[in-house]
Amino acid sequence: MRTGSSRKGDARGERVFHGLGVSEGIAIGTAHLNERGVMEVPEYDVPAAERDAERARLDAAVKRSRQQLEKLRAKAAGLPDSVAEELGFLLDAHLHMLADSRLIRGATRRIAEDGRNAEAAVQAEIAEIAAGFAAVEDRYLAARIQDVREVGDRLVRSLINRPYQPLSHLPPDSVILTEELSPAETALITPGEVAGFATVLGGVESLTAIMARSLGLPAVLGVPALMHSGIRSGELIVLDGSAGLVVVSPTAGTLAEYKEKHAAYLRERRRLDRLRDLPARTRDGVEIRLQANLELPGELDSVLAAGAEGVGLLRSEFLFMNRDDLPGEEEQYLGLAAVVSAMGGKPVTVRTLDVGSEKLLTSLGGRTTESVNPALGLRAIRLSLKEQPLLETQLAAILRASAHGPVRILLPMISTTGEVRAVRRILEKVLRRIRRRKQAPKIEMPPLGAMIEVPGAALTADALARDCDFFAIGTNDLTMYTLAIDRGDDQVAHLYNPLHPAVLRLIQFAAEAAHRAGIPVSVCGEMAGDPRCTVLLLGLGIRELSMAAGSIPRVKERVRVMDHLAANRRAHMVMDQWDAGRIAALLDDFNALA
Ligand code: PEP
Ligand code: MG
């Protein structure tokens, strides 16, 4: 195989691109380039008193678009010289157009003088610039108008916070190639149609990566030159989600090699499927509860097929994705009740809305995007407590869904005991209100728990345990906030490591606090689904793990060959270490012997 990114206009032939393998499996299919299409934008008049705010909205979208381009530029710098140069020029030109350009000046004037909304102002300005260019027959200028359109589309997309094009109704076995795929866009993918996807931006523990694993879709993120290398829609693609490779127009030899790898992968899955009905019990008789994380109702079949003992983390954001309005109580209730009923008496832990940072939702009207640093801003429980009617509606829906089976309520991004108490008071009020209604008079108060995913929460877990009925340790955010590494940023993905001793000490402290207080504690971050870490988590006293359904068989296999006492001893050994590499080696060494 010839490796390295190719230049625009290369002769056809096999080309290989490298990125982060975030979701295992081999996809063989045809390229679907998800480029910017024509977007329908809302058009309305803005009253004079609101025009300053509308201009500020445009400014914020310009800023976000610039940030996206800067990120792409940084990625491009890592490419081979000639490609980096070519791509660098292009991105510089785009950045320039987002500075004090005719496009921005014109759009701003249309808002201020004509009272147009920002999206319509940008589109009208592009149309006028294009009309001017169309009169001139010049290839250079023709290329520039394409650039203006691309920049305008980026801006409008940022304003309306919508996917470029719907990712449904694609030909079977499509491999999506795109700049970036948001969690909301990923939710639109139909696994039967799409064989896998690759993106330029995105990190290993981003929600998009997590969703790919849950959907069982092979995925490679962080592939620098993917969108500017002349790949055409319809070209044959092989995508290796474990090795992080995208092979374009593979030779017959490469194709045969990957078909064999794919067959071997499917044989391995069939072998693991046979574990479905066997207990997750260590050799010395310790029972471990293996549950599934659920991001979309479409994953329910695989959750049931994997033999999950419940849903240990239901990320409720799906109810709010890809829509402009907020779902009401009835709609949320129906969505949740369907999951609870389908689980047939197995417990479902519903997490309240965890919006913010990468998890942006159009239905919230951009209320969460204004923070200087969204990961540290008004998100998750902070937003729910600020927008109390939103929280009350969600709690009412969860309470009503609990009539269909055992439910627990989980709060994201808790950092103080005050937050848990505030939610409990609201929950009690909502419960009283619901009991007064005829439709659900007998509903009981479900257990209320906290995600331990902020270092401050882990370090005060003993205090939190007094106000919580259970803990769920979220190692994804705990790692991000402890090490100050954005989990969704491919540029620092190599530094992201949940085996860092600082993260492990926080897990240990939180688990011990839960044990002392006699409340259940689970781990539901991606670490829970990594069989390499099973010995460590069990050794630290964790008895409940929640993970992507597809990870359950491998973790169960690990549990079943393990001696719990030996796991305890190994965990002690690990906790004496200060080097993540040495810790990984100690785990691998244990796993090789067990
Ligand atoms: C976590 O942070 O570990 C977690 C499970 O929550 P999410 O990945 O949804 O942020
Ligand atoms: Mg989290």
Q: Which ligand is nearest to the CA of 314?
A: 1
Residue environment code for 386-407, b if the CB has 16+ CB neighbours within 10 A, otherwise e:
ebeebbbbbbbbbbbbbbbbbb
SS3 per-residue string spanning 503-532: HHHHHHHHHHHHHHHCCCEEECCHHHHCHH
Q: How far is the CA of 257 from the centre of ligand 2 (A)?
A: 38
Cα–Cα distance measured from residue 48 to residue 426, given in angstroms and rounded to the nearest whole number: 39
Q: How far is the CA of 477 from the centre of ligand 2 (A)?
A: 5
pLDDT of residue 362: 62
Q: Which ligand is nearest to the CA of 523?
A: 1
CATH of 15-37+165-267, one of 3.30.420.40, 3.50.30.10, 1.10.357.10, 3.30.70.240: 3.50.30.10
- pLDDT tens digits, residue range 57-104? 999 889 888 887 887 777 767 666 666 676 777 788 888 888 878 889
Strand, helix or coil at 57?
A: helix
Q: Is the pLDDT of residue 363 over 70?
A: no
User: Which residue among 453, 478, 486 is best mutated to probe the pocket of ligand 1, counting the most ligand atoms within 8 A of its Cβ?
Assistant: 453
Q: Which fold does the domain 48-159 belong to in CATH?
A: Enzyme I; Chain A, domain 2 (1.10.274)
SS3 per-residue string spanning 322-357: CCCCCCCHHHHHHHHHHHHHHCCCCCEEEECCCCEC
Beta-bridge partner residues of 31: 175
User: Which residue among 211, 315, 379, 481 is best mutated to probe the pocket of ligand 1, counting the most ligand atoms within 8 A of its Cβ?
Assistant: 315
Closest protein CA for atom 6 of ligand 1: 474
Cα–Cα distance measured from residue 197 to residue 484, given in angstroms and rounded to the nearest whole number: 28
Q: How far is the CA of 478 from the centre of ligand 1 (A)?
A: 8
Of 117-131, 163-177, 193-207, 333-347, minimum mean pLDDT range: 163-177
Cα–Cα distance measured from residue 353 to residue 363, given in angstroms and rounded to the nearest whole number: 12
Average pLDDT over residues 428-447: 88
Q: Is the pLDDT of residue 364 over 80?
A: no
User: Which residue among 451, 452, 473, 521 is best mutated to probe the pocket of ligand 1, counting the most ligand atoms within 8 A of its Cβ?
Assistant: 451
The minimum-distance atom of ligand 1 relative to the CA of 480 is 2
Strand, helix or coil at 245?
A: strand
Q: How far is the CA of 473 from the centre of ligand 2 (A)?
A: 9
Query: Is residue 514 within 8 Å of residue 467, measured between CB atoms?
Result: no
pLDDT of residue 3: 43
Query: Is residue 366 within 8 Å of residue 324, measured between CB atoms?
Result: no
Closest protein CA for atom 10 of ligand 1: 477
Q: How does strand 174-178 pair with strand 194-199? A: parallel
Closest protein CA for atom 8 of ligand 1: 476
Average pLDDT over residues 506-530: 98
Q: What tokens does 313 get?
A: 């983390």
Q: Is the pLDDT of residue 5 over 50?
A: no
Q: 120: number of CA atoms within 13 Å, CB side?
A: 13
Q: Name the residue with tokens 């993120």.
A: 221
Q: How far is the CA of 2 from the centre of ligand 2 (A)?
A: 39
Q: 62: number of CA atoms within 13 Å, CB side?
A: 20
Q: How far is the CA of 380 from the centre of ligand 1 (A)?
A: 11
Order the strands of the 26-33 sheet from edge to edge. Answer: 15-18, 245-248, 236-240, 26-33, 174-178, 194-199, 219-221, 20-23
Q: How far lies 205's CA from each of 57, 100, 268, 476, in Å? A: 30, 36, 24, 7
Q: Is the pLDDT of residue 373 over 90?
A: no
Closest protein CA for atom 3 of ligand 1: 474
- pLDDT tens digits, residue range 265-320? 999 999 999 999 999 999 999 999 999 999 999 899 999 999 999 999 999 999 98
Q: Is the pLDDT of residue 7 over 50?
A: no
Q: Is the pLDDT of residue 162 over 70?
A: no
Strand, helix or coil at 387?
A: coil
| Sign of the alpha-carbon torsion through 48, 54, 59, 60 | positive
Amino acid residing at 359: K
Residues with CB under 6 A from ligand 1: 210, 313, 315, 354, 453, 474-477, 524-525
User: Which residue among 524, 527, 546 is best mutated to probe the pocket of ligand 1, counting the most ligand atoms within 8 A of its Cβ?
Assistant: 524
The minimum-distance atom of ligand 1 relative to the CA of 315 is 9
Q: Which ligand is nearest to the CA of 294?
A: 1
Q: Which ligand is nearest to the CA of 413?
A: 2
Q: What tokens does 106 get?
A: 């014109």
pLDDT of residue 100: 78
Average pLDDT over residues 105-117: 93
Q: How far is the CA of 299 from the centre of ligand 1 (A)?
A: 17
User: Which residue among 214, 383, 477, 545 is best mutated to probe the pocket of ligand 1, counting the most ligand atoms within 8 A of its Cβ?
Assistant: 477
Q: Name the residue with tokens 């995208």.
A: 246
pLDDT of residue 501: 98
Average pLDDT over residues 463-484: 97
Mean pLDDT over each residue of the chain, to the nearest integer: 88
pLDDT of residue 83: 61
Closest by CA to 243, choosing from 225, 227, 229, 257, is: 257
Cα–Cα distance measured from residue 235 to residue 14, given in angstroms and rounded to the nearest whole number: 10
Q: Which ligand is nearest to the CA of 358?
A: 1
Strand, helix or coil at 63?
A: helix
Domain ranges in the chain? Answer: 15-37+165-267, 48-159, 274-452+525-593
The minimum-distance atom of ligand 1 relative to the CA of 207 is 8
What is the CATH architecture assignment of 274-452+525-593?
Alpha-Beta Barrel (3.20)
Q: How far is the CA of 206 from the centre of ligand 2 (A)?
A: 10
Cα–Cα distance measured from residue 300 to residue 320, given in angstroms and rounded to the nearest whole number: 18
